[in-house]
Amino acid sequence: MLIEQFNIEKTPFDTPSPIPQLRQWLQALMHVVSRLDRTHMALIDAIMRLPWMAMDSNLVKTYTSFIKILVSARPEYLSLVLSRIAQGFTYRKFSQRNNRILSLTLVDLLRKF
């Protein structure tokens, strides 16, 4: 159930904003971050998928604090964190031949070099 709460894309439009609750969950998880081993990968992945850049500044502060603590306490999550950050950067190219926008993640661009 906790993992689903971090999947805000599935939140119905007629419900109150989940942001205050997510912030509370992140604050609570900061206190037990050293216990978040590989069996909690689905939870960490759900947290990493949050569109935190588009949320209010209080959640952004809490989110970034959580990520800092997570990587400090559990370095095995560093590659996941860096991968998600890199995927957030995209290059968009308009193809006139197909009249569509092609998106490449930074990771895809780096692989080509």
Q: Which two tokens mark 77?
A: 């999550």
pLDDT of residue 55: 81
pLDDT of residue 89: 64
Give pLDDT tens digits along the chain (113 positions). 889 888 876 655 555 567 889 999 999 999 999 999 999 999 999 999 888 877 888 998 999 999 999 999 999 999 988 888 777 665 545 444 544 444 555 555 555 54
Length of the chain: 113
Q: Which two tokens mark 16?
A: 């109150």
CA 73 to chain centre: 18
Which residues in the chain belong to E strands, given as ranges?
Answer: 90-95, 100-105
pLDDT of residue 72: 94
Q: Which two tokens mark 46?
A: 């759900």
Alpha-carbon gap, residue 57 to 12, rounded angstroms: 23
